Amino acid sequence: MAGTILVLNGPNLNLLGTREPDIYGHATLADVEALCRAEAEGFGLSVDFRQTNAEHEMVEWIQQGRCGLAGIVINPAAFSYAAYPVLDALKLVEGPVVEVHISNIHRRDEAWRKDTIMTAAATGVISGLGIAGYGLAVRYIAELVRSRP
Ligand code: CA2
């Protein structure tokens, strides 16, 4: 577990790569998973990669992973805007939590997209770097692990 990075994806991200490519690109969630695994494996770490459309499932996964993981990378997707149970669960996590958004939520046409509540529980946020943001988040956590005595 200490050598595992949990990568969580919220609602509708199972459809990544099938619509709105101008905003989200052409990569699929399977591509994102491969990217995260490749990055983690370079540091000798493993990735537990998951997606759900169900808030209760996301809460369960975060609770199960709150201790003993290298860290959590999460794209909460639309949970970002109203899912207080997910926020509370993230606040219980002991290790680093990196919030990732593929698009730059501060430049989107809909003003509400910038108001993510999850940031209150995140160590840091990456937004707008496409799926590369996931790889950078995994790398951040992996380097933290490597720097520990
Ligand atoms: O930019 C991101 O990664 C988002 O977290 C994606 C979320 C959106 O609600 C956030 O505002 C920003 C999910 C977008 C809807 O899901 C799609 C999946 C595939 C293709 C297009 C949209």
Task: Per residue of the chain (149 residues), give pLDDT as tens.
Answer: 689 999 999 999 999 999 999 999 999 999 999 999 999 999 999 999 999 999 999 999 999 999 999 999 999 999 999 999 999 999 999 999 999 999 999 999 999 999 999 999 999 999 999 999 999 999 999 999 999 87
d(CA 5, CA 89): 17
70 C-alpha vs ligand 1 centroid, how far in Å? 25
Beta bridge partners of 49: 7
pLDDT at 1: 61
Spell out the domains of the chain, with CATH numbers in brackets: 4-62+82-113+127-147 (3.40.50.9100)
Most ligand 1 atoms within 8 A of CB, residue of 22, 23, 101 to mutate: 101
What is the position in ligand 1's atom list of the atom closest to the CA of 127?
1
91 C-alpha vs ligand 1 centroid, how far in Å? 23
DSSP string, 6-21: EEEE-TTGGGTTSS-H
